[in-house]
Structure 1
C-alpha cells in the first residue's frame, strides 16, 4: 500500500521543486481560496512549476494560478515550455539530469520525444510510449494468442521482446539573441527542431531500405522494416495488391489496418483508379480501402499495409539536457540525450510489390 506524504502548510513555496504529491497537496489545501476544481488547479500548478523558480507566498501563487487558469479558458496554449527551461539551463551552472527533475519539468522533455504533431509520418499509426515501467510490448500476449489461432508463430521471443536502451541525441545551435529573447519564440524554435529531428531519425531507422543514410549499422539493423522478414504480396495492380495484402493480415488485426506509401505510389494509384472507373473515390482513400489511415510520406520506398499500432512499438526516455556556450560564434549549443528502442511484429505487416 502506497502511503501519501503529508503536505505541510508553509509561509512560502518554491514551485519548481514540486512533485506530483506536492501539486496534489497544494491543490487540496488551497482549493477553497482559489475557487476552482482541484483538477484544474493541479494543471495550473504543473504549468507554474515549470516557470516559477522563486519562493512565493500562497497569495502570490494563487493569483498567478487564477491568471493561468483564466488564460487557458480563453486560449489553450500549445507551449511545451522547453524555451523557459532552456533559459533556466543557460543561467544554471549545471546541465539538467532529466530523471531527477520534478514531474512537470520531466514531462516537457517527454512531450518532445513522443509528440504526434507531424501529420503524414509513421507517428500517425505506430504506438509510442514514454512509460519507463513498460519493459516489453504491452499487448504481446494478446498478439501471440491471436496469431496462434491463425496458425502463425510470433517471431518475437526470449530477450528480443524486451525494450533495450539504445542511445540517441538531438543537437542544435541557437543564436544567443534568440536564447535571451522571448520565451515563446525560443520555445517554438526548439520544439520544432527537437520533434522534427526525433521523428526524422525514427523514420529513417524504420524505412531506410538500402542504408542510404548510413545509420543502419550492426547496432541498428534490427530496427529496419526491411530486416524483419516481412511477407511480400505481389500483384499487377496496385489497388488489387493493397486489397490482397489486407486480406492476408490475420483477421483479428484487419480492423485497424493502415496503408503507408510515397507520393509516386499515391499518384499512380489515383491514375489506376481513374482507369478503373473509381476516380470519384480517389479523394478519400481511407474510405475506399476501409482502413484507419493512409500515410503518404516520401520516406517510404515501398507500400506497407498492416496494423501498425500493434506491429510497431517505440519507447523513449529523456535522460539529459546539455548546454555549451560558443561566445566567439554568438551561439549556444544544446543537446537532448535520450534512450529509446523500437520493437516490430512483422507478422502484422505486408509489403506490396507491383509487377
Structure 2
C-alpha cells in the first residue's frame, strides 16, 4: 500500500500529464490535418487520466483525514508535564514538516524558540540532557570540547590578562596571538542531516518518533563533527576546523620512537597551563597495539584504565589517524541558532526523509594548546 507522500507525488505526475494532454488537444483542434478520430482518442486519453487522478485523490484524502485524526489524539497541547510537552512539540514539528504543513508558533514556543525561523532547539548543544535514546554514532570530542549555540560568536583566545604584564608565559602562545590575533570569530558553514522515517514510526507514539529522529540526527551531527575535526584533507573553507591542517591551524608535531614515547613527549612539550588539563585522542586500535608492546607478553596493563597507563585521560576516535594531545577546551564547536526543516524523497530506498539544514563552525582557538604525535622509529 502506498504512503500518503507517494500518493501526493502520483497526483502531481498525473496532473502534469492531464495538463499536457489538454494543451495538445487545444493545439491540434485547430489543425485541419488532424482527424476527428485522433481528437476523440486524445479526449478519451484525457478522461482516462482524469479518472485515475480522481481515484488516487480519493485515496489520498481518506488517508490524510485518518492521519489528521490520529495526530490529533497525540497532540502536544494536552500534556502538562514540561518534558513531555517538549517531546510532543518536537513530534508535531516532524509530522507537520513531513506533511508539508505550516508549523505553528505555539510549537516553536514549546521548543523554547520565539524567533520567526524557530525550532533551533531541535539540535541541542548538549546531547546527553536533551535526547531520549543514545545516538548510533558519537563524537568523542563532545566529552572534551566546548559546544555553544550563539549567532555571530566572537570570543577572546585568552580568558584573562594581568594588568601590569605585557607578555604571555608560553612562548608558542605569544607567537600565535601575535601572528593570528587575539580573538576568534566563528563562521557559518552549512550542512544537512537526513533521517529516513517509515510510516510505522511516523504514525507511532510521540516518544518513539522523537527518540528515533533525534538519535539519527545526532548521529549525523556527531559524524560531521568528527570528520571536520580530524580531516586529513579538509574541504576548501574548512581547513581551520582540522587538527591535521598545516596551512591554517599548524599544530606542532612532537616525535617519539614508539607510540608511548611520542605521546609522553608531546604531553611533556605542552606548557604547564595546558598540560594540567590535557587529554589524549587516538585510535583504539593504536592504543591496544601500544599496550601490547608495553605489556611485553604480560596481561597486567590490559585491565588498567588509560589514565593509569599514560597519566592522562584518553578518548578514542576512529578518525584520529595520529594521536592529538592537549587541552581540548580550546576546541570549540558553535552552532547558529537558525535551522531549517524540510522533507525529501529518498529515491534509493523509497523512504521519505526528515531533513535538517544547520550551520556550524569548529575553531581550534589556540593551536599552541595542542600537540600532534609523530612516530620516528
- Compute the TM-score of the two structures, normalised by the length of structure 1: 0.67
Q: Which residue of 1 aligns with 2:304?
A: 283
Q: What is the aligned partner in structure 1 of residue 260 from structure 2?
A: 239
Could you say which residue in structure 1 is the equivalent of 2:192? 169
Task: Call closer, same or farther: CA 1:332–1:284 in 2, change over 3 Å.
Answer: same
- Could you tell me how far apart the structure 2 residues matched to 1:189 and 1:206 are? 26
Say yes or no: does 1:93 pair with 2:75.
Answer: no
Q: Is the 8 A contact 1:165 1:341 kept in 2?
A: yes
CA offset digits 1:93-123 (Å, max 9, x no partner): 2368999755536464131x54256667222
Residue 150 of structure 1 corresponds to 170
Is 1:296 aligned with 2:316? yes
Q: Please say if residues 80 and 191 of structure 1, whose CA atoms lie closer than 8 Å, have aligned partners that are also in contact.
A: no
C-alpha deviation, 1:88, in angstroms: 4.0
Instruction: Report SS of the residue matched to 2:197.
Output: strand
Mapping for residues 38-77 of structure 1, pairs under 5 Å:
54=77, 65=80, 68=81
Counterpart pick for 2:370 among 349, 352, 355: 349
**Quick one: distance in 2 between partners of 1:280 and 1:99?**
53
Q: Does 2:292 match 1:271? A: yes
What is residue 331 of structure 2 aligned with on the other side? 312
Deviation of the 1:139 alpha carbon? 5.6
Instruction: Specify which of 110, 115, 134 is matched with residue 127 of structure 2.
Output: 115
The change in CA–CA distance for 1:219 and 1:109 in structure 2 (over 3 A counts) is: same
1:85 to partner: Cα distance: 2.9
C-alpha contact 2:336 2:360 (8 A) present in aligned 1? yes
| 2:32 equivalent in structure 1 | none
Give the corresponding residue for 1:332.
352
**Residue 81 of structure 1, CA deviation:** 6.3
1:230-268 CA deviation, whole Å, 9 max, x = no partner?
111111132222121111111012121111111221112
Within 2, Cα distance between the matches of 1:148 and 1:276? Answer: 46
* 1:3-61 deviations in Å (ceiling 9; x for gaps): xxxxxxxxxxxxxxxxxxxxxxxxxxxxxxxxxxxxxxxxxxxxxxxx8655xxxxxx8
- Given that residues 84 and 187 in structure 1 are in contact (C-alpha distance below 8 angstroms), is that contact kept between their aligned partners in structure 2? no
Unaligned runs of 5+ in 2: 1-73, 114-118, 129-133
Q: Aligned in 2, Cα 1:235/1:143: closer, same or farther, shift over 3 Å? A: farther
Residue aligning to 1:226: 244
The separation in 1 between residues aligned to 2:346 and 2:230, in whole angstroms, is: 39
Once the two structures are TM-superposed, the CA of residue 321 in structure 1 deviates from its matched residue by: 3.6
CA contact (8 A) 1:303 1:352 kept: yes
Shift of 1:181: 1.7
Q: State how 1:130-209 maps to structure 2 within 5 Å.
A: 130-132=149-151, 135-137=153-155, 140-142=158-160, 148-152=168-172, 153=174, 155=176, 157-158=180-181, 161-209=184-232
Would the alpha carbon gap of residues 327 and 334 (structure 1) be closer, same or farther in structure 2, given more than 3 Å must change?
A: closer
CA distance in 1, matches of 2:346, 2:316: 43
Contact 1:110 1:317 in 2 (8 A): no
Q: Structure 1: 5+ residue runs without aligned partners? A: 1-50, 55-60
Determine the C-alpha separation between the residues in 2 that align with 1:334 and 1:182.
17
* CA RMSD, Structure 1 to Structure 2 (Å): 3.8
Number of aligned residues: 281
Pairwise CA distance, 1:131: 3.4
- 8 Å CA contact 1:261, 1:296 repeated in 2: yes
Query: Larger C-alpha radius of gyration, 1 or 2?
Result: 2
Q: Distance in 2 between matches of 1:302 and 1:223?
A: 16
Normalised by the length of structure 2, the TM-score is 0.63
